Amino acid sequence: MSQVRVHNFAVSLDGFGTGEGQSHEEPFGHAGRRLLDWFMRTRSFHEMHGESGGTAGVDDAFALTWGHDIGAEIMGRNKFGPQRGPWEDHEWTGWWGPDPVFHTPVFVLTHHPRPSVEMEGGTTFHFIDATPHEALRQAREAAGGRDVRIGGGPTTVRAFLAADLIDHMHIAVVPVVLGRGERLWDGLEGIEERFRIETVASPSGVTHLTFTRRR
C-alpha cells in the first residue's frame, strides 16, 4: 500500500505552522520566511527552482526526501492561495508560477469546488470538497501506486493526523517564537504514542523530527 507522508513541515517553538495575516505578498503572514529559512538555503530548494548553489548538510538531506516516490499531493486551500470563501480570482494558480514544483496531481481541499487547472510540467490542481479519507482515496488513485504527500498547511496536516492517516511525518522545529498564527498540534494530545520518533539537530539551529507510524 502506498504511504501517506508529510515533509519539510516547519513549526515554531510555540507550535505555529504558519503566521497570521496571509496575503499575496506574504504566504506565511507575519511569519515571513522565518519558518522556511533553513529550507530555502538548501541545495534541494535551489534545484527545485532551477537554481544552483545551496547547502548540502542534514537540512538538505531532509529537504530532498520531499519529492521521492510521490505520486500526488493533498493541500489545504490556504496553502494554495490567500482567497477565502467563493473563488473570485480564477486567474490565481498558486504561488509556484506556470510550472509548479509538484509535477503530479495536487488535490486542493476547499468547500468551493471549481474546474481543475492543468499547469506546465505535470502539475494539475483539482479542487475537491472532501473528508481526509475521501481525499486520500482520490489522491491514491491518481498517484498510480506511488506515495501521497500531505502538503499542509497546519489545518490540513492536523486533520490527517486526527484521522490517523499519516504513515511518515517530517517536522522541522525552528527556534523562533511566532506568538500567533495557526497551530499544528491543537487537539492532538498524546499523538506521539502512535509513532516512533527520531530527532536530529542541525547546525542551522533547526531540529528535524521524524515520526514513523507504529504498525
Within residues 142-181, the interface with its own copies by CB under 8 A covers 171, 173, 175-180
What nine digits make up the cell of 187? 487537539
Asked whether position 67 contacts its own copies by CB under 8 A, the answer is no
Cβ(125)–Cβ(119) below 8 Å: yes
Asked whether position 206 contacts its own copies by CB under 8 A, the answer is yes
Residue whose CB is less far from its own copies, 87 or 185:
185
- Interface residue with its own copies, options 103, 207, 212, 213 (CB under 8 A): 207
- Interface residue with its own copies, options 88, 190, 214, 215 (CB under 8 A): 190
Asked whether position 92 contacts its own copies by CB under 8 A, the answer is no
Please give the single-letter amino acid code of residue 104: T
Q: Choose one: 47-55, 75-83, 124-132, 182-190; the region binding its own copies (CB under 8 A).
A: 182-190
Residue whose CB is less far from its own copies, 131 or 199:
199
Asked whether position 185 contacts its own copies by CB under 8 A, the answer is yes
- Interface residue with its own copies, options 83, 209, 212, 213 (CB under 8 A): 209
Cβ(108)–Cβ(78) below 8 Å: no
Binding site for its own copies (CB under 8 A): 11, 13-15, 171, 173, 175-180, 183-192, 197-202, 205-207, 209
